């Protein structure tokens, strides 16, 4: 790759890293380490096709690669780690604790969705993509993407309502 192309690639990565990492975190159910691996793996694939997609839509390409890679990796049975029901309590200063707790709850619920539903919900509501682009990223018809989104949102509502403990 020529130097100018490499510079454009570096600029793209620098500008979009945090957004891609956040998307990857949501796609992996909140696992930061797996999310970093997912972003890096996707950017390596982008590097090899950069001259072809640089003028088009490199972010759409990376998003599609990330969704597919996250779906493949979620099929693995063992990651070498054992998840726990509850995270250890850690003090958070200020009023941020409620926001962090809610975000953690949502990420945990997202992690319990099937990979395609999780990807569809994240792309539709976090990335705010239209249904057609969600379908393209998932590699399925628009109706199927709508179905994944609807079922994912319904499952999230169920999981989040179960997580609320009654007071008193």
Question: What are the structural domains of the chain?
Answer: 3-76+96-163 (1.20.140.160)
Express each pLDDT in 91-147 by its tens digit. 555 567 777 788 888 888 988 999 899 999 999 988 888 999 999 989 999 999 999
Whether the Cβ atoms of residue 24 and residue 39 lie closer than 8 Å to each other: yes
* pLDDT above 60 for 78: no
Whether the Cβ atoms of residue 121 and residue 139 lie closer than 8 Å to each other: no
SS3 state at 21? helix
- In terms of Cα–Cα distance, which of 59, 73, 72 is closest to 23? 59
Q: What is the pLDDT of residue 76?
A: 59
Looking at per-residue confidence, does 23 or 167 come out higher? 23
Q: What is the pLDDT of residue 7?
A: 86
- In terms of Cα–Cα distance, which of 45, 36, 59, 69 is closest to 129? 59
* pLDDT above 80 for 25: yes
- pTM, two decimal places: 0.58
Q: What is the pLDDT of residue 90?
A: 62
The Cα 81–Cα 73 span in angstroms is 14
Express each pLDDT in 38-73 by its tens digit. 999 999 999 999 999 888 889 999 999 998 888 887
| Widest CA span in the chain | 66
Sign of CA dihedral 120, 122, 124, 129: negative
> Which residue reads 């950017």 in tokens?
43
Length of the chain: 168
Whether the Cβ atoms of residue 13 and residue 54 lie closer than 8 Å to each other: no
């Amino acid at each position: 790759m020529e130097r100018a192309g490499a510079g454009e690639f570096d600029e793209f990565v620098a500008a979009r890293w945090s957004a891609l990492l956040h998307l990857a975190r949501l796609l992996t159910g909140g696992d930061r380490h797996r999310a970093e691996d997912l972003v890096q793996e996707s950017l390596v694939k982008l590097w090899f096709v950069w001259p072809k997609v640089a003028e088009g839509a490199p972010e759409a390409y990376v998003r599609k690669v990330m969704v597919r890679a996250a779906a493949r990796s979620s099929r693995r049975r063992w990651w070498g780690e054992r998840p726990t029901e509850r995270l250890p309590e850690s003090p958070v200063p200020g009023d941020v604790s409620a926001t962090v707790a809610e975000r953690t709850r949502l990420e945990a619920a997202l992690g319990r969705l099937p990979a395609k539903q999780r990807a569809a919900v994240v792309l539709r509501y976090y990335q705010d993509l239209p249904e057609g682009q969600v379908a393209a990223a998932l590699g399925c018809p628009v109706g199927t993407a709508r179905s994944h989104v609807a079922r994912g949102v319904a499952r999230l509502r169920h999981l989040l309502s179960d997580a609320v403990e009654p007071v008193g």
